[in-house]
Amino acid sequence: MAYKLPADCLNEIFEYFADDKISLHSCLLVNRLWSEVTVRILWRDIWRFLIFNENHAKSKSSLHIFRTLTAYLPSESIDLLLMNGIDIPTPISRTPYFNYVSFMKVLSFPDIGHMIESLMDQFNTISQSLDYNEHLVSQELLKALMKHFSSLKTLDFCTESSRITQNIPFTHFPGATECLADVTTLSCDSDAMLCPQLFRKIQSLSITFDDMISDELVQLIHSQQTLKDLEINAQFDMDWSIILPTFEPALRKHYHTIIKTKLLFNGCDMPFSLISSCFNLQELVISIYPIFSMGLQPHSDNFDELQFATFPNLRIFKIPYDIPKIETLIKFLEKNGKNLNELRTSKDYAYVDNSLNRSIAQFCPNLKKLTINFENDGLVTLKSIFDHCVGLESIIIWCKDNRLDGVELFELVAKHSPKNFCQLKIDLDFLFLPKDLESFFTSWWDRRPRKSLTLIFFKDKFEGYEVSEENIKIIERFIKLGTIKRFEMTDGFFYHDH
Residues 67 and 171 in one domain: yes
Greatest mean pLDDT among 234-243, 336-345, 405-414: 336-345
Task: Band the pLDDT of 24: cuts 50, 70, 90.
Answer: confident
Residue with more model confidence, 293 or 210? 210
Mean pLDDT over 447-453 rounds to 92
Domain span at residue 87? 50-183
pLDDT confidence band for 308 (50 / 70 / 90): confident
Q: What percent of the chain has pLDDT over 90?
A: 44
Average the pLDDT over 435-462 and give the result. Answer: 87
Residue 287 in any domain: the answer is yes
pLDDT of residue 203: 98
pLDDT above 70: residue 498: no
Tell me: do 200 and 235 sit in the same domain: yes
Residue 472 lies in a domain: no
Q: Does residue 334 share a domain with residue 224?
A: yes
Q: How far is CA 456 from CA 228, 236, 485, 487, 491, in A?
A: 33, 36, 11, 6, 10
For residue 158, pLDDT over 50 is answered with yes
Residue 415 lies in a domain: no
Asked if residue 144 and residue 33 are part of one domain, the reply reads: no
**Final residue of a domain: which of 290, 311, 340?**
340
Q: Please compute, for residue 445, the number of CA atoms within 13 A of its CA located in the half-sphere on the CB side.
A: 15
Report d(CA 103, CA 230) in Å as an integer.
Answer: 27
Asked if 316 and 283 touch (Cβ cutoff 8 Å), the reply is yes
In a domain, 167, yes or no: yes
Q: Are residues 194 and 332 in the same domain?
A: yes
Whether residue 330 is contained in a domain is answered as yes
59 within a domain of the structure (yes/no): yes
Q: Round the average pLDDT of the chain to a whole number and report it.
A: 84
Residue 161: the pLDDT is 67
- The tally of domains found in the chain comes to 3
265, 162: one domain: no
In a domain, 443, yes or no: no
Q: How confident is the model at residue 489 (pLDDT cuts 50, 70, 90)?
A: confident
Whether residues 17 and 112 share a domain: the answer is no
Tell me if 397 is assigned to some domain.
no
Final residue before a domain boundary, out of 312, 340, 368: 340
Q: What pLDDT does 438 receive?
A: 93
- 298 and 170 in one domain? no
Which residue from 216, 209, 176, 211 is spatially nearest to 193, judged by alpha carbons?
216
- The answer on 212 and 173 residing in a single domain is no
Are residue 208 and residue 129 in the same domain, yes or no?
no
Residues 6 or more apart whose Cβ sits within 8 Å of residue 223: 196, 199, 200
Answer whether residue 414 shows pLDDT above 70: yes
The per-residue pLDDT for 294 is 45
Return the minimum-mean-pLDDT range out of 48-57, 178-187, 262-271, 433-442: 48-57
Question: Is residue 389 within 8 Å of residue 362, measured between CB atoms?
Answer: no
Per-residue model confidence (pLDDT) at position 93 = 59
Q: What beta strand segments (E) does 146-228 contain?
A: 154-157, 185-189, 204-209
In sequence order, the 6+-apart residues with CB closer than 8 A to the CB of 363 are 330, 333, 334, 337, 338
Out of 287, 318, 340, a domain closes at 340
Residues 138 and 244 in one domain: no
The closest of 392, 387, 400 to 427, measured between CA atoms, is 400
Mark whether 196 and 131 lie in a shared domain: no
**Do the beta carbons of residue 470 and residue 436 sit within 8 Å?**
no
